[in-house]
Amino acid sequence: MFVDEVTIFVQAGNGGNGAVAFRREKYVPNGGPAGGDGGRGGDIIFQVDPGLNTLMDFRHQRHFRAPNGEPGGNNRKHGADGEDVVVRVPPGTLVTTEDGTVLADLVHPGESAVIAKGGRGGLGNVHFSSSTHRVPKVAERGQPGESRWVKLELNLLADVGLVGFPNAGKSTLISTVSQARPKIADYPFTTLVPNLGVVTGYGDPFVMADVPGLIEGAHTGAGLGHTFLRHLKRTRILLHLVDMSPDTGRDPVNDYRIIQHELKAFSPELAERPMVVVGTKMDIPGSQAVLDAFQKALPAVTVFPISSVTGEGVASLMWEVRRLLIENPPIPPVRQEVTVKPVVRGFRVVADDEGFRLVGDVEERAAMTLWGNPHAEAYFCEYLRRRGVPEALRRQEVPDKTAIKVGEGTVYWVDGDLVPTPPDDYPE
């Protein structure tokens, strides 16, 4: 089954907690802090596997989680890092966030990208000692790993794309010039999935893509072709096949204009790609008259007449495609512009229905605080004092004996100071 679009959830590993430990060795009195750092959480890495050509496997597994880092140990032992999780994807996979931000465009075999980064390990108490704080009982909690829903979109890697109405002869042409063997029948929408074929014998080999036929309104969701139009995004050349058979009862001029409109409506950039108009089924009696009428109505359009059944004109068409491929280099992968975001420092006090909350860069520090450890909570309160939080609470006239939430933790505003635990007379 061909699957070319899925949404999955990725969760990188959390960093391991730092350790609170002290040296306990014989003949070493008053041993100092010796708590080791936590290990790094595992990353979620997407890597191109040239042996894959569909996203079908992601229909069965939609959640990927990397292991957490191990906590630090005694004697400054560093916790083990979480193992990275490598997710294999087919060439041409575009990875975006829910809002459309491009995270990676994976094209070449072996190419990889970190989609969710693991959190760093928390610092052990060895990092918190100083000349005035010789017995620190404080350590950091590991940093949470990144998590997000991502959309995977497979865009086939082809040099030449075939477009046209259903039964215009696209599948017959690709089966004539390559080893591809798509289903061919005389009814509309025979082609239900894209087909790729490697064309040889006309200079360097190139890849041709046959997508399901388009109909009017395809760019808005009509028919089958709209689902696969994106597979033409990487193509360098488009072959627009127009059925010249007089037996269909269709107007080739109108068909040509409809397809041109659908391409432009879907992607103006795609519509500007080099295009060769191909008149198909020229072996059928009466097709030459239809072709003459087409060229009279559209004198500016050059048409390559062919018959995929007899081979008439196919070689000339392929050599013209080869010439255009030489003139038009491959489409480069979409690359996310790496912008260095300025470090935003600061916090503010927010009042809502649930009370008061501190938001800003202090939340990152709160996320790495070992809540439940009174020494770590007291250290965090000292950090808030250094940041000027008490002054901000006074300016905002926050009432005495008020709980202040910071991330998932809570501190208390009592008698003009921040404390980690509520007083005995704290109101219920």
CB 174 within 8 A of CB 182: yes
Q: Is 213 annotated to bind ligand?
A: yes
What stretches of 130-205 show up as alpha helix (H) in DSSP? 170-177
CA distance 171 to 164: 11
280 by DSSP, 3-state: which?
Answer: strand
42 carries a ligand binding annotation: no
* Residue 283 marked in a binding site: yes
64 is in an annotated binding site: no
Sheet strand arrangement including 160-164: 195-199, 206-210, 160-164, 237-243, 275-280, 303-305
Q: Is 210 annotated as a binding residue?
A: yes
Q: Is 172 annotated as a binding residue?
A: no
- 130 labelled ligand-binding: no
Neighbours of 327 (CB within 10 A): 10
191 in a known ligand binding site: yes
Is 360 marked as binding a ligand? no
Q: Is 307 annotated as a binding residue?
A: yes
Residue 178 annotated in ligand binding:
no
Annotated binding-site residue? 145: no
Question: Is residue 251 a known part of a binding site?
Answer: no
Is 170 assigned to a binding site? yes
Find out whether 424 is annotated in a ligand binding site: no
Fill in the amino acid letter for 260: Q
Instruction: Give the three-class secondary structure for 352.
Output: strand
Q: Is 308 annotated as a binding residue?
A: yes
Name the nearest CA neighbour of 84 among 48, 40, 52, 127.
40
* 189 annotated among ligand-binding-site residues: yes
328 is in an annotated binding site: no
Q: What is the chain's Cα-based Rg?
A: 32
> Is 211 part of any known ligand binding site?
yes
Binding residue per annotation — 352?
Answer: no
Q: CA torsion 333→334→336→337, rounded to 10°?
A: 90
What DSSP designation does 232 have?
Answer: G
- Nearest to 15, CA basis, from 73, 77, 87, 80: 80
Task: Supply 384's token pair.
Answer: 């808030």
Has 151 been labeled as part of a binding site? no
Say if residue 206 carries a ligand binding annotation: no
Binding residues for Mg(2+): 171, 191
Binding site, by residue number, is: 164-171, 189-193, 210-213, 280-283, 307-309
Binding site feature residues for GTP = 164-171, 189-193, 210-213, 280-283, 307-309
